[in-house]
Amino acid sequence: MANRIVVLNSDSAEVLVAIGAKDKIVGVADSVKTNPTVGQLFTNTTSVGYWQTPNPEQIALLKPDIIISYASSPPKNMDQLAAVNATLVQLDCGNLKTIIGDIAAAGEITGNEQHAKAYSDYIQSAINTVTTRAMSRSTQPTVYWEYNKAWSTAGNGSGGDTIINMAGALNVGRNV
């Protein structure tokens, strides 16, 4: 069980907060600190830099048990992070295709399995509700999903694309 965690993606930080493991987070990427959903919870948490190229020296000073990064887009300096002597765990936590498993993994990592199970049950219930309602519609709306920066959209297979499809809509950015 990890007691000291560095989180490089805000989606994983959100899950850790939701399952009651915020107190185990000792460092976060800048993008977590500026995230409108959870950023205010980490104002006093040490920043480890940019999520794609976090500062291995700063991370080493925090003596983490685990470093959590995106599975779909791991850090570009993985070789440097390997020298930190912490286990690197890759969780997306923002993709509905993997969210249930990612929540379970976060629960197992932190020893918060019961909270993780309750949270994943809630998420699965919401997914089921949206999917059921989408199937009952007679038309398929067209959706443009704008990501973190202007004119950046959800491409084929992305988390946003999965959400659009589960809602029974057509993603205009699918073939971009």
* Host H or E run for residue 161: helix 159-166
Higher pLDDT, 135 or 26: 26
Q: How confident is the model at residue 163 (pLDDT cuts 50, 70, 90)?
A: confident
Q: Residue type at 85?
A: N
CA 134 – CA 86 distance, rounded (Å):
43
Note the pLDDT tens digit of each residue in 86-134: 999 999 998 888 999 999 999 999 999 999 999 999 999 999 999 898 8
pLDDT band at 145 (very low <50, low <70, confident <90, very high): confident
Residue bearing tokens 């009952």:
136
pLDDT of residue 12: 97
How much is the pTM? 0.87
Give 154's pLDDT tier (boundaries 50, 70, 90): confident
The answer, yes or no, to whether residue 148 has pLDDT greater than 70, is no
Q: How far apart are CA 129 and CA 113, in angstroms?
A: 24
What does residue 6 show for φ and ψ, rounded to 5 degrees?
-110, 130
Backbone φ and ψ for 88, nearest 5 degrees, come out as -95, 120
